[in-house]
Amino acid sequence: LDAAARRLPAAELAAFSPRAARAKEERGWERRKAAREAHVEKRRQDHLQRIRAEQEAEERRRAAAAGPARLLALANRAKDPIGDDDRRKAHRAIRAPDRQLVAEMLGKNSPVEVLRFVNAEVFGEHTQRLSPSGWLVDEVVNYYMFLLQERDALVCASDGSRKPCHFFNSFFFTKLLENGSYNYRQVKRWTKRFDLFSRSKVFAPVNVGNMHWCMVMVDVARKEVRYFDSMGAGGEPYLKAMKRYLEDEHRTKKGSELEGGWTLTRTTRDTPRQTNGYDCGVFASFCAHYMSLTEQLDFSQDDIQHFRIRMMVDILNKRIHTGGDV
């Protein structure tokens, strides 16, 4: 062996030495250790990734649940207590003389584009109808629709993913069904500054024979036209007229037929009911107030007297009360 070893090159001879064997074993151990550490680190990273994914999913779930709850809370700001100063101002405005100008909205000052060509005035003869047993007139309902339009713009500004609503005034149906017959041309230009089908919901108050107030809502995403009547009537003529209007509007502005699958929904059981003959205008207005934010009509006859004062305060302040939430 010694003779054979003497004939091997020095490098090959070194490979047979105990030191070389230990070094080789140590290198193998280091590789195995590094492999184990890499495996453990990968498992740790995978575990952390799963935790992060679960946390993000939980946050999305909570956000999805909190969104409707937050908007319902915003709608319910209408139930907030009214301060003594605001209440006194509201009562003075409700008792104002017939021709005293109580509130004025100049559309040119509005941040909402669709309101920039709208001017509205409310006089004492109109605000008197916000007294406890008054029947609301167009001027009060329409002014409130303008305020809802501006509140909607604020809500959309705080949530970039939210599509805006649109609020027609009470003369929309008056013109659409003038003299009892349908006439699209009378309202064709009402949407020349915006695409109606880009809205999430559309609201139109209905003055039924100058005797009763109702509300029509179009839910564009759900393809639904819905009627709200605090006395429970179905509203078929207005549902059908609105559906026909949507067909004409789509054909005229989009150059194509309205897609099928639309449903017409009569007044549902969850629509709050009035228990007298004069609160319908407040009910109709607050159906738009709530449904433009949420899917819950979280009010009843017990809230209506408070809502009358709240409407007066909001008209005087030229904004819907939000409690600073938007």
Predicted confidence at residue 21, as pLDDT, reads: 74
Token pair for 164: 């805006």
Q: Where are the alpha helices (DSSP H) in the chain?
A: 2-7, 10-15, 18-75, 84-94, 124-127, 138-158, 171-176, 236-254, 280-291, 304-317
- Token pair belonging to 256: 């194509």
Catalytic residue (one of 212, 219, 287, 321): 212
Burial classification of residue 186, based on how many CB atoms lie within 10 Å of its CB (0-12 exposed, 13-18 middle, 19 or more buried):
middle
Predicted pLDDT at 40: 85
Q: How far does CA 324 lie from the centroid of its chain?
A: 17
pLDDT at 230: 98
CA pair distance 266, 250, nearest whole angstrom = 23
Please classify residue 130 by burial: count the beta carbons closer than 10 Å to its beta carbon, then call 0-12 exposed, 13-18 middle and 19+ buried.
buried
Tell me how far apart the alpha carbons of residues 6 and 15 are, in angstroms, rounded to a whole number: 14
Identify the CA nearest to 143 among candidates 311, 306, 322: 311
Looking at residue 181, its pLDDT comes to 96
Burial grade of 38 (CB within 10 A; 0-12, 13-18, 19 or more):
exposed
- How far apart (Å, rounded) are the C-alpha atoms in residues 110 and 118? 9
pLDDT at position 233, please? 96
Given this model, what pLDDT does residue 83 score?
Answer: 97
Q: For this structure, is 165 an active site residue?
A: no
Catalytic residue among 165, 214, 280, 287: 280
CA 279 to chain centre: 26
Separation between Cα atoms, residue 144 and residue 296, nearest integer Å: 20
Whether 2 is catalytic is no
**What per-residue confidence (pLDDT) applies to 109?**
67
What whole-number distance in Å separates Cα of residue 111 and Cα of residue 150?
8
Of 86, 152, 219, 229, the catalytic one is: 229
Is 159 noted as a catalytic residue in this protein? no
pLDDT at position 26 is 78
Instruction: Write the DSSP string, 285-318.
Output: HHHHHHHTT-S-----GGGHHHHHHHHHHHHHHT
pLDDT of the chain along its 326 residues, tens only? 455 555 556 555 555 567 777 777 778 778 888 888 888 888 888 888 888 877 766 555 554 455 789 999 999 999 999 999 999 999 999 999 999 999 998 666 676 666 656 678 999 999 999 999 999 999 999 999 999 999 999 999 999 899 999 999 999 999 999 989 999 999 999 999 999 999 999 999 999 999 999 999 999 999 999 999 999 999 999 999 999 999 999 999 999 999 999 999 999 999 999 999 999 999 999 999 999 999 999 999 999 999 999 999 999 999 999 998 88
Query: What's the CA gap between 295 and 224, in Å, rounded?
Result: 13
pLDDT tens-digit series, residues 196-230: 999 999 999 999 999 999 999 999 999 999 999 99
pLDDT in tens, 143-180: 999 999 999 999 999 998 999 999 999 999 999 999 89
Contacts of 167 (CB under 8 A, 6+ apart): 145, 146, 148, 149, 152, 202, 203, 204, 288, 292
Cα dist. 206→193, 216, 273, 309 in Å?
Answer: 23, 7, 16, 22
- pTM equals 0.80
Give the HSE-up count for residue 192: Cα atoms under 13 Å, Cβ half-sphere: 7
Range 58-92 burial, b when 16+ CB lie within 10 A, else e: eeeeeeeeeeeeebeebbbbbeeebeeebeebbee
